[in-house]
Amino acid sequence: MININLNDLLEDAKKTLEGNWNGKFTIPSATLYPHQWSWDTAFISIGNSYINTERAIKDLEFLFNAQWKNGMIPHIVFNDKEKTYFPAADFYDISRSPNAPKTIGTSGMTQPPMHAISSYYIHKNSQNKKESFEFLNWIFPKLINFHRYLMTQRDPEKSGLVTIFHPWESGLDDSPTWDDALARIKIQHLITFKRLDVIAVEGAKDTIPTDDMYNKFIYLIELMKQYNYDENEMYKSFPFKIKAIVFSSILYVANKYLIKIANILEEKNNINEINQWIYRTEQHFFKYFFPLDNQRRIGQTEEALFYNYDLVSKNWVTKKTISSFIPLYTGLIPKKDDIDKMVKWIQTAHWCGDDKFHTLAIPSTDTAEQYFKEKRYWRGPIWINANWFIYLGLKKYGYIEFANQIREGIFELVANHGFREYYDPFTGEGLGGKSFSWTAALVIDMIKNKKMEIDID
Ligand code: 2M8
């Protein structure tokens, strides 16, 4: 292993989180993301669970106080004083929905439900179990309402898998996974707007989503507004509807954590319902996301990949992205053979198994595909949260050496290139936002939770 002082790294990570605390919540990164983001907050709380329980709780409390009446946790809670991010609260105009909070500015969409997972980490790592028990008691019904929203409004099929209406709901914004679905959408009227991320990031031209993509993102929000954010109506005719792997994988794991929380609270009323959610996901995960049987039929056996499922085109989205590997985190893959194939594939020159790569951390798309761009956001660079899921999944399945190599790769990136939003897989150059919170938070977890005391079942 290269020589990295983990104590120094830990101290720098702590400072990064401290620096992003604005008195009410922790922002992802100054200037670029000055508001509160939902799944960022959950990752941040995981990091803080080891070093500052009170802070971890405060962050989740702030977010869950903005919960919508139908249970949705919005993907952004806005700070009205901040003017450096577009689209802001006025653009979302959530007053169109009877479910939206009246006095808090939020976005009108959601993000992956990491929060039951972080709530459990908070209690497990807390030195003050009375305080963390009270917190669990407070958040548990809210988590149930959020998961129920996802399992009903976002899953009328009762598949146990979540439908997203916007790429931003996936968390993997401009991933090539969404290209075909977005290409089908023709912009009818787009208001003029000014992108602010182009000002906030150095080298923005090559590292953030293209204007074409961004216009589609904004247009989809305009469409959501036309539907008054009514999921029932959107389900009938919205042009972007995808069963999302990363989202659904996280929800499956989060449901298991809800059971753990219910056990701590000795709360029996919701257990059956949660178990039904878990069962539904187990029944449908492969059918929706794993077209291997089809591939076998047509003789393509070299990959064992999971793919997102497009409900509009009724087809798999066969773009090779890091999403395909996140199901490792669920522990849902029963056949060792499928996992072996997947791991072998990750270790080829397509992903990280070649001298041309800076570390063994995994890029966000297959580097042999024409859509791979080493510096552009979710289209190629290394992201720490996506690698963290795979690191945990690999450990779970016993691929300890490879998991540890990924962890070391992450430590190297962070120690030598800063706590950045994402990294160039060839040079290690840090890109996007600086002093990025979830990078720091998950590094804290990977230093402190080395023994994997917190496992996923
Ligand atoms: C990115 O997404 C926001 C929109 O939500 C953006 O591009 O402005 C994504 O990486 C997302 O996963 C993340 O939560 C957010 C804040 O870090 O930034």
Looking from the CA of residue 33, the nearest atom of ligand 1 is 16
Minimum CA distance residue for ligand 1 atom 7: 173
User: In the prediction, which pLDDT does 192 show?
Assistant: 86
Looking from the CA of residue 174, the nearest atom of ligand 1 is 7
Identify the DSSP state of 379.
G
Identify the DSSP state of 430.
E
With CA atoms as reference, report the closest residue to 383 among 2, 28, 19: 28
Name the token pair of 410: 């992450």
Q: How far is the CA of 28 from the centre of ligand 1 (A)?
A: 9
Of 310, 366, 421, 424, catalytic: 421
Q: How far is the CA of 197 from the centre of ligand 1 (A)?
A: 11
Looking from the CA of residue 38, the nearest atom of ligand 1 is 14
Strand runs labelled E in 40-181: 76-77, 163-164
pTM: 0.97
User: In the prediction, which pLDDT does 126 show?
Assistant: 97
- Cβ(209) to ligand 1 under 6 A? no
Q: How far is the CA of 76 from the centre of ligand 1 (A)?
A: 9
Name the token pair of 248: 């659904």
Q: Ligand 1, residues 20, 37, 194, 221: which to mutate, most atoms within 8 A of Cβ?
A: 37
Looking from the CA of residue 383, the nearest atom of ligand 1 is 10
With CA atoms as reference, report the closest residue to 153 among 101, 99, 206: 99
User: In the prediction, which pLDDT does 292 show?
Assistant: 65
Of 155, 169, 173, 174, catalytic: 173
Q: Ligand 1, residues 16, 17, 109, 168: which to mutate, most atoms within 8 A of Cβ?
A: 168
Looking from the CA of residue 378, the nearest atom of ligand 1 is 10
User: In the prediction, which pLDDT does 202 show?
Assistant: 82
Return the amino acid letter for 166.
H
With CA atoms as reference, report the closest residue to 45 among 33, 63, 31, 71: 63
Q: How far is the CA of 268 from the centre of ligand 1 (A)?
A: 36
Q: How far is the CA of 302 from the centre of ligand 1 (A)?
A: 33
Q: How far is the CA of 38 from the centre of ligand 1 (A)?
A: 10
Tell me the C-alpha distance between 300 and 304, whole Å.
Answer: 10
The 3-class secondary structure across 12-41, one letter per residue, is HHHHHHHHCECCCCECCECCCECCEEHHHH
Look at the chain and count its residues.
457
Identify the DSSP state of 98.
T
With CA atoms as reference, report the closest residue to 172 among 363, 377, 370: 377
Buried b (16+ CB within 10 A) or exposed e, 387-398: bbbbbbbbbbbe
User: In the prediction, which pLDDT does 2 show?
Assistant: 63
Minimum CA distance residue for ligand 1 atom 4: 168
3-state secondary structure (DSSP) of residue 162: coil
Active site residue 173: yes
3-state secondary structure (DSSP) of residue 423: strand
Across the chain, which has 457 residues, the per-10-residue mean pLDDT values are 86 98 97 96 98 98 98 98 94 98 98 98 97 98 98 98 98 97 92 85 87 95 98 98 98 98 97 98 95 58 81 95 96 90 92 95 97 98 98 95 97 97 98 97 93 51
Q: How far is the CA of 173 from the centre of ligand 1 (A)?
A: 7
- Cβ(169) to ligand 1 under 6 A? no
With CA atoms as reference, report the closest residue to 63 among 30, 32, 101, 90: 101
Q: How far is the CA of 308 from the centre of ligand 1 (A)?
A: 19
Tell me the C-alpha distance between 427 and 207, whole Å.
Answer: 14
Q: Ligand 1, residues 78, 173, 207, 435: which to mutate, most atoms within 8 A of Cβ?
A: 173
- Cβ(33) to ligand 1 under 6 A? yes
Q: What is the CA radius of gyration of the chain?
A: 20
Handedness of CA 380, 383, 389, 390 (dihedral sign): positive
- Cβ(37) to ligand 1 under 6 A? yes
Q: Using a CB cutoff of 8 Å and minimum separation of 24, what contacts does 185-191 make?
A: 185/216, 185/219, 185/220, 185/239, 185/240, 187/215, 187/216, 187/219, 189/222, 190/215, 190/218, 190/219, 190/222, 191/218, 191/222
Return the amino acid letter for 83.
K
- Cβ(40) to ligand 1 under 6 A? yes
Residue 341 burial (CB count, 10 A): 17
Q: Which helix (H) or strand (E) holds 315?
A: strand 315-316
